[in-house]
Amino acid sequence: MDCPSCGSSGEESSWCTGCGGPLAGAQCRSCSTELKPGAANCGECGVATKETGGGDRAWAPMFLAAAGLAVVGAVYMQGGGNEQAPPPRAPAAAQPMPPPPVPDFAAAPSNSALEAADAAFNVAMMAYETKKPDATGRIAEAIAAYSKVDEPDNDSLFHIAVLQQSAGSFDASLAATSKMLAGSPDHLLALGVAMQNSLELGDAAKAREYAQHFLLVLPSESGKSLREYRDHARMFQIYEQEAQTAIGG
């Protein structure tokens, strides 16, 4: 049918596609009352019949209010208000981090002498294994730190033996392993270092003796739950291979 509002012809729906007005069969969107074709408002509730533009009008006040605030803000930021906006604060310059202090192992109190010595050992061996220029000095510091430990246990004696060996003092290292073996004749770490020191000192027969002893007790001794065994378990395989070589196996 033809739209009575805008004259559009050939409309088949109940709403005009040209102007959005109601046609035959259209119902009010508010109260569902059937509308007269071309009516501008519902005869029952008075709501406008055309949909076009209705959604935008509901948001118009809010949009205008927001636009007004934006304009006021822009004027204020440009100096149109009573107060000037503060200038942006410059970022603070990054301060370089100070280098970590070098621990003074020699000055450690007596009640923490063992902890300080163990820490010095770790630092020294890391420097030695990575070939750092200060490795020799770190080893000397660690040896001095262990000298402050009263009655060192086998773990500490092993550390001392390794430090002396790393410093090239094979006799002093062998002396430390001898103390270990005096109380624990089958101690694997002591036997391994003693074997190495004997080879360095040119005593192949003594090295072979330590190697045979090591291989003999390895199966039973390696299962013991000793702190130094847990901390240095990787040395067992190294000493085992060197022991096999020492006895010509």
Give 69 or 34, the one with higher predicted confidence. 34
Calpha distance 50→114 (Å, rounded): 91
The residue assigned the tokens 């000793």 is 226
pLDDT at 137: 96
User: What share of the chain in percent tops pLDDT 90?
Assistant: 54
13 secondary structure, DSSP code:
S
Q: Which of 39-53, 77-91, 159-173, 191-205 has the lowest mean pLDDT?
A: 77-91
> Helix or strand or coil: residue 204?
helix
Whether residue 109 is predicted with pLDDT greater than 50 in this model: the reply is no
Structure tokens at 227: 């702190």
Q: What is the mean pLDDT of residues 146-160?
A: 95
pLDDT score, position 110: 46
pLDDT value for 241 = 96
Contacting residues for 190 by C-beta, under 8 A, at least 6 apart? 154, 157, 158, 161, 177, 180, 181, 184
The pTM score is 0.56
pLDDT value of position 16: 76
pLDDT, tens digit, 9 for 90 and up, residues 43-101: 776 667 664 443 333 333 333 333 343 433 443 344 444 545 556 555 555 556 555 55
Two tokens, residue 44: 């029952």
* Domain spans of the chain, in order of start: 106-246
d(CA 61, CA 141): 80
**Confidence category of residue 221, pLDDT binned at 50, 70, 90:** very high
Distance between CA atoms of residues 147 and 132, nearest Å: 24
Q: Which CATH number fits domain 106-246: 2.40.10.120, 2.30.250.10, 3.60.20.30, 1.25.40.10?
A: 1.25.40.10
- Read off the pLDDT band of 39 (50, 70, 90): confident
Among 14-18, 72-76, 191-195, name the one with the lowest average pLDDT: 72-76
